[in-house]
Amino acid sequence: MATQNIISKTKLKSILIELKNNAENLTKKDIGMWRDSWQLALNPENPQRLNLYRIYRDVMVDNHLNGCITQRKGYVLKKSFKLVDKNGKENPELTELLETEWFKNFCNLALDSVYFGHSLIQFGDLSNRNGLLYFDNTEIVPRENVIPEYGVFVRESGDEPQRGFSYRDGVFAAACIEVGKPKDLGLLLKVAPQSLSKKNMMAYWDTFGEMFGMPIRIGKTSSRDPKEITKAENFLRDMAGASWGLFPEGTEVEIKETSRGDAFNVYDQRINRCNSEISKAIIGQTMTIDSGSSLSQSQVHLEVFNNIIDSDADMLRDVINWKLIPFMIMHGFPLAGYRFDWDNSIDYTPEQQLKIEQMLLNNYDIDPKYFAEKYNIKILGKKEAQTPALSAGDEGFFV
């Protein structure tokens, strides 16, 4: 009996070999591009970061990486702040100057330097609203046009530094602030290989699912009539939930279930490993963004994460005090003699605040103005302790 198989073993083997070769080529291409781009960015005579930034934009599509960065930045951006004098006393009116969209956008862009490396931030026009000065906007100067090693930006990405314009002096210095070290390429340089590998693994898994995720339909027929063979092929191709077919005698239809069950260990475990490596690079641990296994372990991981948040907050405070505030004073903001600081007292939970106040009251004499200003109540003085009234049954106690 003549037999015709829709997918032969030889054809299936050739498809698997082709899939393996494509996977290897794609992985080598991605990692090779990353290494070549890194090398171009390190060129001492004409450093070029364009290709590296293209890879950065590609890996930023990674949802897990985005979640790690958003979590780390979010904890810093939500912190309360204040402007204080040399004695540490806040000036609420000056603090209000920073309660603006342009300042929050500046902080966001400044924190981006942790991930992208050196960042050049440009300020818009200075405006006045109800006596309060503010900048129209803040935006990043296209990174591919900036050559921080030479302190210049160029009209066309790829131009040599000698054709650039200095942003560290002259008119451009009055419109820009640079954040980060000139040769810093950011944390994305370290996580890019993991993100690229994960992207490839997900693509391979999709291909695996297309090939082996559904049962294979195999048709066998003893007919040599091309019309009958074509009829069988069309039926197998269009086969759906309510399909049926009428075939000549000797035709068989077989549904072959896949027996390959290692896709999870091959692909999903590699994807999870990529995610854990990304988490360690960005937030120092895994449990604050992934599920944890125990309370003690999660507390240790949270402490590591808080140390990273404190480091970012300290970096941002230095940038504001040493670069932004002098820049604002140069543009007429009345901030001379004041500095930026985080207001941690506002960020305490009610339970933490209660414990702190009880500790202070039990050990120190506290100025009533503290409570009057904090809770917006007028304190007349300390209430005297009253002797409790005696009841009729208590008189015999003094006899």
Quote the tokens at residue 138.
Answer: 């803040």
Identify which has the larger pLDDT, 105 or 245: 105
* Closest alpha carbon to 112 in 66, 165, 157, 155: 66
> How far is it, in rounded angstroms, from Cα 97 to Cα 334?
10
Domain assignments of the chain as residue spans, ordered by start: 10-202+286-347, 349-384
- 3-class DSSP state of 256: strand
For Cα atoms 86, 89, 93, give the angle at the middle one, nearest 5 degrees: 110
Each residue's pLDDT tens digit, 348-365: 666 767 777 777 777 777
Across the range 307-335, mean pLDDT stands at: 95
Half-sphere exposure of 174 (CA within 13 A, CB side): 7
Q: Are the C-beta atoms of 87 and 321 separated by less than 8 Å? A: no
* Closest alpha carbon to 198 in 392, 63, 48: 63
Q: Is residue 155 very low, low, confident or very high in pLDDT (cuts 50, 70, 90)?
A: confident
Each residue's pLDDT tens digit, 278-305: 989 998 877 666 655 554 566 777 788 8
Each residue's pLDDT tens digit, 376-394: 677 777 776 665 555 555 5
Q: For tokens 């106040």, name the residue.
A: 357
**Is the confidence at residue 16, as pLDDT, over 50?**
no
Each residue's pLDDT tens digit, 82-92: 999 998 899 99
pTM given for the model = 0.72
> How far is it, in rounded angstroms, from Cα 34 to Cα 251?
54
Across the range 120-143, mean pLDDT stands at: 90
pLDDT at 78: 92
